[in-house]
Amino acid sequence: MAKQPSKKRTDGISKDSGLVPRFIVQDWLFDIFRRSKPLDDLLSQSENNTDWQNLNSRDRAFARSLLMTVLRHKGEIDWVVGQFLKKPPQAKTRVNEILSLGVAQLLYMEVSDHAAIDTSVRLAKRSDKSRHLAKLVNAILRQVTRAEPKELTPPGGDNINVPDLWKRRWGKQYGEAVATKIAQACLEPAALDIIVKRDADSWATKLNGRVMGGEDNSPSYGIRKDHRGIVTELEGFSDGDWWVQDYSAHLPCTLFESAPGFGSLAEKNIADLCAAPGGKTAALLNKGAVVTAVDISEKRLSRLQENLKRLDFNASLVQSDVLTYTPSDLFDAVLLDAPCSATGTIRRHPDILYLKSEDLIFELRKLQRQMLEKAVTFLKPGGLLFYCTCSLEQEEGELQIDRFLKNNDTIERLPIEAKEIGGRADWLTKAGDVRLLPFFSPFKDDEWTGMDGFFISRLRLKQ
């Protein structure tokens, strides 16, 4: 389990001093970069953390903002610190984390120079391991405030925030220009995408958002809004009128009924594999499908059940490894959102760029292939198989499907057409799969640019 700051570690820090949220973020950064702990795990565990629970909503929001700012601008921050700190202190002092917090506040957040420097120095003084370096922290941050703009502008632009592994891979797969756009997208926080049960236009008015879809006869199914508050406090959440789901993740659910010869989803038996947290399950149920949701994790399946209960939806839930699961009846369609490197979610999870590796991609590629081969056995003749990943890596998308089709002559690709996705021909590969990139927009005028990177392939078991 990731290390959590205990109550004793913050005893004596005034709750209005601003130190507690910064102290927690300091620990989070240490856990991410020194212990390879995923951001999601840390945020989940924080709900059982006394220090976190004692923070008011404003301090929690500040802590999240500070953490995400450091993660998104890590390359720039490291470069700036390196201009003034020639010999990094030992990791155990956590001075690198403290300096990162200070520089992030000075350069990228609306925090006064005095507050950023003072709190950073006091953080250093809180620990026996860093107390002797408090003057160093103060000196470096003051140098940053006095520096000329050119001294704070690293070479390479936004690309410096992307580790070399991903710059190399994305440059090879998409070209340098696209790789740069992906790097720029890493810096932008994601908007809030909401999928509504019905009447998207009305909900767009109520929630001050904009309808996604509806252009060129594409389905109108949800809204996007700029929101930094508490989602559960928005109108309609407690009543189960909508759920949160990124535009990209919802798109596969709009491509069933337009598949040649498939027809309405109403009363169709659908398997949603690796289903948690349940956004796709909810979307299929909302269209009248009978859904069996399969997930290996009891905890994640419990969360899915809670989400469905709030939405007043019912599905058959199965806790099982997809590779050992055997359904009692065959399905009209299967949706496999396979485990992947998740590099397409970097706007929400910038820590992925530092925690995932090429070796992991190779391991996941094998698992995805096994899941594809297993999922085919769940289908009725003529049944649909949707394969999706929230990855930017072609080994987990285009190349995975090309290899799968080459080795399985009972499966055929049903190419997706531009008219099914609002006329966005640039979202399609030559073979007819969907390839979404983080800087794409669901709107024709490119307002609110951004969505999760995603891959979708629509296949069919031959009769």
| pLDDT per residue as tens digits for the range 95-140 | 999 999 999 999 999 999 999 999 999 999 998 899 999 999 999 9
Nearest CA to 170 out of 179, 161, 160, 162 is that of 179
What pLDDT does residue 215 have? 55
Find the helix or strand (DSSP H, E) in which 70 lies. helix 57-72
pLDDT of 217 > 70? The answer is no
CATH number of this structure's domain 248-461: 3.40.50.150
**Confidence band for 178, pLDDT divided at 50, 70 and 90:** very high
CA distance 18 to 97: 16
Phi-psi region of 167 (alpha: psi -120 to 50; beta: other; left: phi over 0): alpha
pLDDT in tens, 305-357: 999 999 999 999 999 999 999 999 999 999 999 999 999 999 999 999 999 99
Q: Does residue 50 surpass a pLDDT of 90?
A: no
Q: Looking at residue 3, what is its pLDDT?
A: 34
* pLDDT at res. 15: 54
From the list 283, 271, 313, 289, the residue with the least C-alpha distance to 219 is 283
* Mean of pLDDT values over 439-460: 91
Residue 64 dihedral angles phi and psi, to the nearest 5°: -65, -45
Residues of the chain with CATH 1.10.940.10: 7-155
Question: How close are the terminal C-alpha atoms of the chain, in Å?
Answer: 49
CA-nearest of 29, 18, 112 to 68 is 29
Q: Give the mean pLDDT of the chain.
A: 92
- Percentage of the chain beyond pLDDT 70 is 95
Distance of alpha carbon 364 from alpha carbon 356, whole angstroms: 11
Q: Do 431 and 413 touch, CB atoms closer than 8 A?
A: yes
What is the average per-residue pLDDT within 389-403? 98
Active-site amino acid positions? 390
The whole model's pTM is what? Answer: 0.92
| Residues 219-238: tens digit of each pLDDT | 556 899 988 778 999 999 99
Residues of the chain with CATH 3.40.50.150: 248-461
Q: Which CATH superfamily is domain 7-155 in?
A: NusB-like (1.10.940.10)
Alpha-carbon span 220 to 200, nearest angstrom:
7
pLDDT band per the 50, 70, 90 thresholds, residue 4:
very low
